[in-house]
């Protein structure tokens, strides 16, 4: 997947609409401590469907909304849009008619998150699957947080295996298998109930 642009609005310290244009080659972000470099990476992970507030250095997901300063009042919502190249037509069926994909996540206080792909409402799962199938995503090993290298060195084999599976591009398949298993269990429970009813009738 090629990322073209990250647009932030009301996300953490980015209270005003801010565009980060990602050109071909290496993009570097430099600035003094506390200016928001890590917030940019968190925005990227967040728009791809990250659901753990701790991964956003917060207690609740609403902590990503600009909380206000002495001079500016807090925002009621935060929005991040990631524009990716779609020349290879990676988008879910029905959304594949353009060369670029805008993936938007918006969170409103007390109302939670909503996702859109090219303006159409989608589920969190659709966005997560899109990135899982493309071997990137909120948990992608391509995104390296501060302190993560030492975590990797000290990781247990199971955690290391997950990283390798993600790199191999099969984590989307695991998610689908898990969902299929849940459906199968529900179907089996239904069958048992039908059997019970039949027993009672005979």
Q: Does 113 bind ligand ATP (CB under 6 A)?
A: no
Return d(Cα 158, Cα 155) in angstroms, integer.
8
The H-or-E segment that residue 126 falls in is: helix 124-133
Return d(Cα 22, Cα 85) in angstroms, integer.
11
Whose Cβ is closer to ligand ATP: residue 51's or residue 69's? 69
Whose Cβ is closer to ligand ATP: residue 34's or residue 119's? 34
Q: Which stretch binds ligand ATP (CB under 6 A): 65-73, 107-115, 122-130, 185-193?
A: 65-73
Q: Does 21 bind ligand ATP (CB under 6 A)?
A: no
Residues near 133 by beta carbon (within 8 Å), at least 6 away in sequence: 90, 169, 172
In the list 43, 48, 66, 138, the residue contacting ligand ATP (rule: CB under 6 A) is: 66
Residues near 163 by beta carbon (within 8 Å), at least 6 away in sequence: 141, 152, 155
Q: In the complex, what is the shortest distance from the CB of residue 31 to ligand ATP, in angstroms, rounded to a whole number?
A: 6
| Bridge partners (DSSP) listed for residue 80 | 8, 105
Q: Which stretch binds ligand ATP (CB under 6 A): 16-24, 36-44, 101-109, 158-166?
A: 36-44
Angle at 59 between CA 128 and CA 135, to 5 degrees: 20
Whose Cβ is closer to ligand ATP: residue 62's or residue 166's? 62
In the list 1, 8, 36, 86, the residue contacting ligand ATP (rule: CB under 6 A) is: 36
Contact 94, 119 (CB under 8 A): no
Paired tokens of 108:
């409103």
Whose Cβ is closer to ligand ATP: residue 108's or residue 118's? 108
Q: Does 163 bind ligand ATP (CB under 6 A)?
A: no
Q: In the complex, what is the shortest distance from the CB of residue 26 to ligand ATP, in angstroms, rounded to a whole number?
A: 18
Q: In the complex, what is the shortest distance from the CB of residue 20 to ligand ATP, in angstroms, rounded to a whole number?
A: 13
Q: Does 35 bind ligand ATP (CB under 6 A)?
A: yes
The H-or-E segment that residue 114 falls in is: strand 112-117
């Amino acid at each position: 997947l090629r990322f073209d642009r990250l647009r932030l609005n009301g996300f953490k310290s980015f209270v005003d609409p801010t565009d980060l244009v990602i050109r071909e080659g290496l993009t570097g972000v430099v600035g003094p401590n506390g200016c928001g470099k890590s917030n940019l990476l968190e925005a990227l992970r967040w728009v791809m469907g990250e659901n753990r507030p701790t991964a956003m250095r917060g207690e609740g997901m609403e902590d990503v909304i600009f909380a206000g300063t002495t001079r500016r009042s807090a925002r009621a919502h935060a929005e991040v849009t990631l524009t990716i190249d779609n020349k290879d037509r990676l988008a879910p069926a029905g959304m594949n008619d353009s060369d670029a994909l805008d993936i938007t996540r918006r969170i409103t206080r007390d109302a939670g998150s909503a996702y859109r792909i090219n303006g159409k409402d989608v589920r969190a799962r659709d966005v997560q699957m899109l990135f899982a199938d493309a071997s990137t995503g909120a948990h992608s090993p391509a995104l390296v947080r501060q302190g993560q290298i030492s975590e990797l060195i000290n990781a247990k084999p199971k955690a290391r295996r997950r990283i390798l599976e993600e790199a191999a591009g099969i984590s989307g398949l695991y998610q689908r298998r898990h969902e299929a298993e849940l459906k199968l269990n529900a179907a089996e429970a239904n069958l048992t109930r039908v059997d019970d009813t039949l027993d009672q009738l005979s």
